[in-house]
Amino acid sequence: MPSGGYSALTASETAGPDRARDAILAQARALGFQAAGVASADEAPRDAESLRAFLRLGYAGDMAWLRRTAERRSSPRALWPEARSIVVVGISYGPAHDPLRLLDAPARGIVSAYAQGRDYHDVVKGRLRRLARFVVDTFGAEVKLFIDTAPVMEKPLAARAGIGWQGKHTNLVSRRHGSWLFLGELFTTLDIAPDEGEADHCGSCRQCLDVCPTDAFPAPYRLDARRCISYLTIEHKGHIAPEYRAAMGNRIYGCDDCLAVCPWNKFAGRTEEYAFLPRAELTAPRLVDLAALDDASFRTVFSGSPIKRIGRDRFVRNVLIAIGNCGEAGVWPAAGRLLGDASPLVRAMAVWASGRLLAPARFAALRARHEPAERDPAVRAEWQGHPQAGGH
């Protein structure tokens, strides 16, 4: 066994594009990728046009990086002109429990299934590097590897590689793994025989569209990210618009609703990946405990977690919205302590949660104490615009 951790192959075993394809996909499976396929690096005009339409309609919200990288995303060779083939791999993270079970436990926060274990970027990248080394050492080809932080249209590529298809919720669906796959891509200068793209098997089903709490799907196969709870709780850096707060319920990081109701999940087993097994403290965390996190404790609790990248202020913003939605006045002190927080994001949602949980007289007394000293216009607007303040 070579030091790279893969099996040596003879020249006769790797000769020709079909042999190369079989050898690479076998190695991918040996490295722990449950799904693997090959797509051509040729441009796919329909995918490029879908991206342009998404951006033209403003559905990207404040994800400016999508607009900045649109040209490179539109074609694999715009990203790397020498690429000839793309090996697409997937790791299943099928959850052991129903991701929607906590909707009936409003004092607990819901963290998206993908974020309850280790940061998948690290796991996928580590295995992709080993696969890349195998390709370089065995075939002498050049390679570049990517995960979803790079300007790659990975879901369309996975569909072209035969791993699955993009469902009506725009996420990848697999007949073997349901809606629960992490993806990675290995671009190479090798000419490898591509797989046949996967056909769409959604049929007349629209469960993923109908379950969305914020009506984020203007039409099947079209997502308005500005309305999506995953976008709002993870990507959106500012204040979350009032029209979406109640619909967020107790979802504090991401939203699995459209993924969880997909009928194809019945074929998906629970993940056996140790790295993706949920951390006990994230399976049903108490909102009051999460609201108490300062920056240092946030970094400690979420070390090695994808949650860490959004920072304490945005995360506590989300937690306070969930507290405001829980309907239990007894949890109010967790929000009340944050009315004087250093972050306007946090103070604003502490005001909102207070208005949802307290009687009008109590809220008015808090307003009289805090509003005169408030200098942030967004926080002042929360005090002034809340129904209990006599506004709209």
pLDDT tens per residue across span 160-183: 999 999 999 999 999 999 999 999
pLDDT attached to residue 17: 57
Whether residue 43 has pLDDT greater than 90: no
93 band by pLDDT with thresholds 50, 70 and 90? very high
Residue 351: enclosing H or E segment and its boundaries?
helix 344-357
Closest of 153, 171, 173 to residue 163, by C-alpha: 173
Q: Strands (DSSP E) along 162-304, which ranges?
A: 165-166, 172-173, 181-188, 251-253
Rounded to an integer, the average pLDDT of 316-336 is: 97
Residues constituting the chain: 392
Whether residue 296 has pLDDT greater than 90: yes
pLDDT attached to residue 222: 96
Whether residue 389 has pLDDT greater than 60: no
Rounded to an integer, the average pLDDT of 246-260 is: 98
β-bridge pairing 143-146 and 181-188: antiparallel
pLDDT attached to residue 1: 28
Which residues partner with 90 through β-bridges? 35, 183
Rounded to an integer, the average pLDDT of 229-255 is: 97
Rounded to an integer, the average pLDDT of 96-123 is: 93
pLDDT attached to residue 3: 34
221 band by pLDDT with thresholds 50, 70 and 90? very high
Residue positions annotated with a catalytic role = 148
**Is residue 85 classed as helix, strand or coil in its secondary structure?**
strand
Residue 37: enclosing H or E segment and its boundaries?
strand 35-40
What percentage of the chain reaches a pLDDT higher than 90? 76
Please provide the average confidence, as pLDDT, over all residues in the chain. 91
Q: What is the pLDDT of residues 353-372, one digit of tens each?
A: 999 999 999 999 999 999 99
* Distance from C-alpha of 243 to C-alpha of 216, rounded to nearest angstrom: 13
8 band by pLDDT with thresholds 50, 70 and 90? very low
On whether the CB atoms of residues 147 and 121 are closer than 8 A, the answer is: yes
274 band by pLDDT with thresholds 50, 70 and 90? low
pLDDT attached to residue 105: 97
Residue 324 phi/psi, 5° resolution? -65, -25
Residue found by looking up tokens 């919720």 in the block:
169
Instruction: Return all residues near 382 (Cβ < 8 A) that are at least 6 apart.
Output: 348, 349, 351, 352, 355
pLDDT attached to residue 69: 78
pLDDT attached to residue 334: 98
11 band by pLDDT with thresholds 50, 70 and 90? very low
β-bridge pairing 251-253 and 172-173: unpaired
Whether residue 12 has pLDDT greater than 70: no
Residue found by looking up tokens 């709002």 in the block:
232
Whether residue 7 has pLDDT greater than 50: no
pLDDT higher at 3 or 250 = 250
> What sign does the CA torsion over 26, 32, 33, 34 have?
positive
Which of 8-12, 33-37, 224-228, 279-283 has the weakest average pLDDT?
8-12
Closest of 196, 210, 193, 197 to residue 165, by C-alpha: 197
Whether residue 281 has pLDDT greater than 90: no
Instruction: Return all residues near 352 (Cβ < 8 A) that are at least 6 apart.
Output: 242, 245, 320, 321, 324, 382, 386
What percentage of the chain reaches a pLDDT higher than 70? 94
236: Cα separation from own chain's centroid: 12
Q: What is the pLDDT of residues 45-55, one digit of tens each?
A: 888 888 888 88
Start-to-end C-alpha separation, the chain: 70
Rounded to an integer, the average pLDDT of 294-312 is: 95
- In this structure, which amino acid lies at residue 104? D
Rounded to an integer, the average pLDDT of 218-228 is: 97
pLDDT higher at 74 or 260 = 260
* Distance from C-alpha of 236 to C-alpha of 231, rounded to nearest angstrom: 6
* Distance from C-alpha of 278 to C-alpha of 180, rounded to nearest angstrom: 14
Q: What is the pLDDT of residues 331-349, one digit of tens each?
A: 999 999 999 999 999 999 9
